[in-house]
């Protein structure tokens, strides 16, 4: 709880003690509309500026302490994204997650283009291919070609990382419109107690103005009262569930691990390429076993966090959400000032928002049901557990593509037919095999947790990781062997079977993403109320059918 006390999320207490009689429940009401003096947002560029300086450090400036930030927010009529997060998660983790959410697609495009430019340069500028010659077998012919350089890989990574952290800046330089976001620390006044209280009590008003709700999800998220309140506001306003974007904060570590591990493997592969086939295979196996366990261990931990999301949603209960005020028994530590309970204020609002028409369910039960049902239906099929979004899987495995760009000259130099075979092989690897390997590796990691349980003992846990790594490496080796095997033999048909198969498996593994894209493309709107009604209707229909069949 120490983090909570240092940076309390519930700031009204900080403001309220000025006028104790105002601090009574009657004086503090949650508002759904915003006065002009507090209706403010910041640009995304500002929110992510200076490598996330606004996200790190003491958020509220401590209870009653004025914070020396100059105001960067400005009045708005509409907000693009409401950024919802809990305070205890480290700021830099949230910053990296946001960079991935907003900047990773342009970063990927820049990385791909830059690596391709250097790949193409290597076709014409032989000195760029710095390594010893190597053999490559395509369609039954063994070609001896100049080996690859590192320019595609290096420049690809450079382009990706710089764009990832500077994209919003670049956009501003070119005068693109920046997204307007609500970030509590910057949009709610931090030094004027009245404005601060007004801002916090008006969170629902900010949500009403927002087009999307971007949730930086950590395992703590659903346990925090104010986070839960933000979700409740969204649902009560009948805003679309498809506009809630759950972004687990674990994805930063995940992307870093996969990218780091893969880049290292690619460098090793280039070095080993001069070896004969059998030695190469053994050496690759050994290096894979050296590289895979560490990222896998870290990933296992973040997947474990993600595993908690389905359970949290399944067992969601508003009554279990915690708040700062209750944790300190409504007395501000070291000051003795008593503070009112946020739970009472929020409870009052909940009673207004979720009143059932026939009065059979309590507002709290209705809200719980909305979260459990609609989140299960619209959120959990996209995130949580071992699920990784397709775009994120492609992004994390980008070093694989960068590596391929260093081999473009081979495409140029070998026989036309074989060149096409090699090219489609490369495409299938980047957009099919690598993401599928990642998804399956996560699944293997989860499976190992299921079989062996979560080990508290570090040694035992590492042992499980190594076992899982053997499984993952064996799987990756098998996949690569099948892909390279069908590529190298003279007959074409095995490859003609394997390539579409890769496509089908990719679509199968990432089908939820396709469904979501489809729904978004059609502008479908799904509300919690609608989804609960629909499942109730379906349950009724099922009942009728059972009765009929009986
Ligand atoms: Zn309380």
pTM listed for this prediction = 0.82
| pLDDT of 413 above 90 | no
Mean pLDDT of 494-514: 89
Residue 162 lies in a domain: yes
Q: Find the 62 Cα to ligand 1 centroid distance in Å.
A: 19
Q: Find the 325 Cα to ligand 1 centroid distance in Å.
A: 4
- 516 CB neighbour count, 10 Å cutoff: 16
Mean pLDDT of 55-69: 50
Q: How many domains does the chain have?
A: 1
Q: Find the 286 Cα to ligand 1 centroid distance in Å.
A: 56
| pLDDT of 17 above 60 | no
pLDDT of residue 64: 35
Residue 541 lies in a domain: no
Question: Per residue in 441-463, pLDDT tens?
Answer: 888 888 888 887 766 777 888 88
Q: What single-letter DSSP state applies at residue 245?
A: E
Q: Find the 390 Cα to ligand 1 centroid distance in Å.
A: 41
Q: What φ, ψ does residue 275 adopt, rounded to 5°?
A: -75, 160
Q: What single-letter DSSP state applies at residue 166?
A: H
- 198 CB neighbour count, 10 Å cutoff: 20
Percent of the chain with pLDDT over 70: 86
| pLDDT of 18 above 70 | no
Mean pLDDT, the chain, whole residue set: 80
Q: Find the 243 Cα to ligand 1 centroid distance in Å.
A: 30
pLDDT of residue 20: 34
Contact status, residue 332 vs residue 18, Cβ threshold 8 Å: no
Higher pLDDT, 531 or 475: 475
The Cα 498–Cα 482 span in angstroms is: 8
Mean pLDDT of 474-502: 86
Residue 318 lies in a domain: yes
Q: Find the 225 Cα to ligand 1 centroid distance in Å.
A: 10
The Cα 223–Cα 318 span in angstroms is: 9
Q: Find the 343 Cα to ligand 1 centroid distance in Å.
A: 5
pLDDT of residue 157: 93
The Cα 391–Cα 382 span in angstroms is: 12
Residue 420 lies in a domain: yes
Q: Find the 346 Cα to ligand 1 centroid distance in Å.
A: 10
Q: Find the 138 Cα to ligand 1 centroid distance in Å.
A: 69
Higher pLDDT, 361 or 503: 503
| pLDDT of 488 above 50 | yes
Mean pLDDT of 43-56: 83
The Cα 445–Cα 125 span in angstroms is: 44
pLDDT of residue 148: 67
Higher pLDDT, 129 or 421: 421
Taking alpha carbons only, the member of 403, 390, 70 closest to residue 266 is: 403
Residue 538 lies in a domain: no
Q: Find the 84 Cα to ligand 1 centroid distance in Å.
A: 21
pLDDT of residue 60: 45
Q: Is residue 81 classed as helix, strand or coil in its secondary structure?
A: strand
Q: Find the 60 Cα to ligand 1 centroid distance in Å.
A: 19
CA 429 to chain centre: 23
Q: Find the 341 Cα to ligand 1 centroid distance in Å.
A: 4
Q: Find the 324 Cα to ligand 1 centroid distance in Å.
A: 7
For 64: left if phi > 0, alpha if psi spans -120 to 50, otherwise beta; the answer is left
Q: Is residue 141 classed as helix, strand or coil in its secondary structure?
A: strand
Q: Give the neighbor-by-neighbor strand order of the sheet with 210-217.
A: 74-75, 40-43, 180-182, 79-84, 210-217, 244-248
Q: Find the 332 Cα to ligand 1 centroid distance in Å.
A: 11
Q: Find the 316 Cα to ligand 1 centroid distance in Å.
A: 19
Taking alpha carbons only, the member of 216, 123, 195 closest to residue 407 is: 123
| pLDDT of 160 above 90 | yes
Q: Find the 269 Cα to ligand 1 centroid distance in Å.
A: 58
Residue 534 lies in a domain: no
Contact status, residue 28 vs residue 354, Cβ threshold 8 Å: no
Mean pLDDT of 417-443: 89
The Cα 407–Cα 385 span in angstroms is: 36
Q: Find the 66 Cα to ligand 1 centroid distance in Å.
A: 24
pLDDT of residue 111: 94
pLDDT of residue 156: 92
The Cα 480–Cα 94 span in angstroms is: 35
Mean pLDDT of 464-469: 86
Q: Find the 12 Cα to ligand 1 centroid distance in Å.
A: 12
Residue 37 lies in a domain: yes
pLDDT of residue 109: 94
Q: Find the 24 Cα to ligand 1 centroid distance in Å.
A: 13
What residues have CB less than 8 Å from 326, skipping those under 6 apart? 341, 342, 343
What residues have CB less than 8 Å from 116, skipping those under 6 apart? 152, 405, 408
Mean pLDDT of 371-395: 80
Q: What φ, ψ does residue 111 adopt, rounded to 5°?
A: -60, -45
Taking alpha carbons only, the member of 366, 370, 346 closest to residue 356 is: 366
Q: How many residues would you count in the chain? A: 550
**Most confident residue range from 162-176, 296-310, 519-533:** 162-176
Q: Find the 19 Cα to ligand 1 centroid distance in Å.
A: 19
Q: Find the 306 Cα to ligand 1 centroid distance in Å.
A: 28
pLDDT of residue 523: 75
Q: Find the 326 Cα to ligand 1 centroid distance in Å.
A: 3
pLDDT of residue 540: 64
Contact status, residue 406 vs residue 153, Cβ threshold 8 Å: yes
Higher pLDDT, 327 or 165: 165
Residue 311 lies in a domain: yes
Q: Find the 328 Cα to ligand 1 centroid distance in Å.
A: 8
Contact status, residue 41 vs residue 187, Cβ threshold 8 Å: yes
Taking alpha carbons only, the member of 255, 239, 240, 237 closest to residue 435 is: 255
Q: Find the 532 Cα to ligand 1 centroid distance in Å.
A: 30
How big is the chain by its Cα radius of gyration, in Å?
27
Q: Find the 189 Cα to ligand 1 centroid distance in Å.
A: 23
| pLDDT of 82 above 90 | yes
Mean pLDDT of 89-99: 89
Taking alpha carbons only, the member of 218, 163, 214 closest to residue 398 is: 163
Q: Find the 13 Cα to ligand 1 centroid distance in Å.
A: 10
pLDDT of residue 112: 93
User: Structure tokens of 243?
Assistant: 């506009």
pLDDT of residue 451: 83
Question: Per residue in 255-264, pLDDT tens?
Answer: 888 888 888 8
Question: Per residue in 162-203, pLDDT tens?
Answer: 999 999 988 888 878 888 999 888 888 777 777 877 888 888
Confidence bin at 435 (pLDDT 50/70/90): very high
pLDDT of residue 62: 35
Contact status, residue 90 vs residue 109, Cβ threshold 8 Å: no
Higher pLDDT, 384 or 2: 384
Q: Find the 338 Cα to ligand 1 centroid distance in Å.
A: 11
Higher pLDDT, 370 or 359: 370
Mean pLDDT of 17-31: 47
Question: Per residue in 26-35, pLDDT tens?
Answer: 456 777 777 7
The Cα 269–Cα 251 span in angstroms is: 26
The Cα 9–Cα 323 span in angstroms is: 8
Contact status, residue 265 vs residue 291, Cβ threshold 8 Å: yes
Q: Find the 89 Cα to ligand 1 centroid distance in Å.
A: 21
pLDDT of residue 105: 92
Q: Find the 42 Cα to ligand 1 centroid distance in Å.
A: 30
Q: Find the 319 Cα to ligand 1 centroid distance in Å.
A: 12
- 485: containing domain: 2-523
- 99 CB neighbour count, 10 Å cutoff: 23
The Cα 14–Cα 194 span in angstroms is: 10
The H or E element containing residue 487 is helix 458-488
Contact status, residue 263 vs residue 237, Cβ threshold 8 Å: no
Lowest mean pLDDT among 177-186, 350-359, 530-539: 530-539
Q: Find the 229 Cα to ligand 1 centroid distance in Å.
A: 14
pLDDT of residue 110: 95
pLDDT of residue 159: 95
């Amino acid at each position: 709880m120490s983090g909570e006390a240092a940076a309390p999320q519930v700031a009204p207490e900080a403001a309220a003690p000025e006028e104790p009689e105002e601090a009574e429940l009657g004086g503090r009401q949650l508002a759904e509309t915003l006065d002009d003096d507090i209706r403010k947002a910041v640009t995304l560029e500002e929110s992510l500026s200076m490598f996330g300086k606004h996200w790190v450090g003491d958020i509220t400036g401590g209870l009653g302490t004025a914070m020396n930030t100059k105001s960067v927010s400005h009045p708005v009529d509409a907000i693009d994204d409401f950024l919802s997060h809990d305070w205890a998660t480290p700021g830099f983790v949230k910053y990296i997650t946001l960079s991935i959410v907003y900047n990773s697609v342009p970063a990927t495009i820049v990385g791909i283009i830059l690596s391709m430019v250097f790949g193409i340069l290597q076709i014409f500028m032989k000195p760029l291919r710095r390594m010893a010659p190597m053999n490559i077998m395509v369609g039954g012919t063994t070609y001896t070609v100049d080996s690859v350089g590192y320019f595609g890989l290096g420049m690809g990574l450079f382009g990706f990382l710089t764009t990832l952290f500077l994209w919003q800046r670049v956009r501003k330089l070119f005068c693109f419109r920046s997204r307007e976001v609500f970030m509590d620390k910057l949009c709610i006044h931090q030094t004027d107690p009245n404005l601060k209280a007004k801002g916090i009590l008006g969170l629902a008003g900010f949500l009403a103005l927002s087009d999307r709700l971007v949730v930086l999800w950590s395992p703590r998220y659903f346990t925090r009262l104010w986070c839960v309140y933000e979700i409740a506001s969204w649902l009560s306003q009948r805003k679309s569930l498809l506009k809630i974007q759950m972004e687990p904060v674990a994805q930063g570590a995940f992307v870093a691990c996969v990218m780091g591990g893969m880049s290292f493997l690619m460098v090793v592969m280039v070095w080993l390429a001069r070896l004969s086939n059998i030695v190469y295979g053994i050496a690759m196996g050994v290096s894979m076993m050296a590289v895979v366990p560490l990222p896998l261990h870290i990933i296992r931990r973040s997947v474990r966090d993600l595993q908690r999301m389905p359970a949290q949603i399944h067992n969601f209960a508003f009554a279990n959400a915690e708040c700062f005020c209750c944790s300190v028994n409504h007395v501000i530590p070291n000051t003795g000032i008593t503070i009112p309970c946020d739970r009472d204020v929020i409870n009052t609002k909940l009673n207004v928002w979720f009143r059932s028409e026939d009065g059979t369910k309590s507002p709290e039960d209705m809200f719980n049901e909305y979260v459990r049902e609609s989140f299960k239906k619209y959120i959990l099929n996209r995130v949580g557990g071992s699920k990784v979004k397709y775009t994120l899987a492609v992004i994390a495995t980008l070093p694989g593509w960068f590596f391929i760009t260093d081999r473009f000259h081979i495409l140029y130099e070998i026989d036309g037919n074989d060149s096409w075979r090699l090219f489609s092989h490369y495409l299938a690897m980047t957009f099919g095999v690598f993401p599928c390997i990642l998804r399956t590796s996560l699944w293997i990691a989860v499976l190992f947790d299921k079989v062996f349980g979560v080990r508290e003992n570090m040694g035992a846990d590492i042992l499980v990781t190594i076992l899982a790594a053997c499984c993952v490496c064996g799987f990756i080796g098998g996949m690569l062997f099948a892909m390279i095997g069908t590529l190298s033999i003279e007959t074409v048909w095995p490859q003609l079977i394997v390539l579409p198969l890769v496509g089908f498996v990719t679509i199968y593994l990432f089908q939820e993403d396709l469904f979501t894209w489809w729904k978004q493309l059609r502008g479908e709107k799904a509300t919690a109320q609608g989804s609960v009604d629909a499942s109730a209707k379906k349950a009724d229909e099922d009942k009728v059918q059972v009765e009929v069949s009986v």
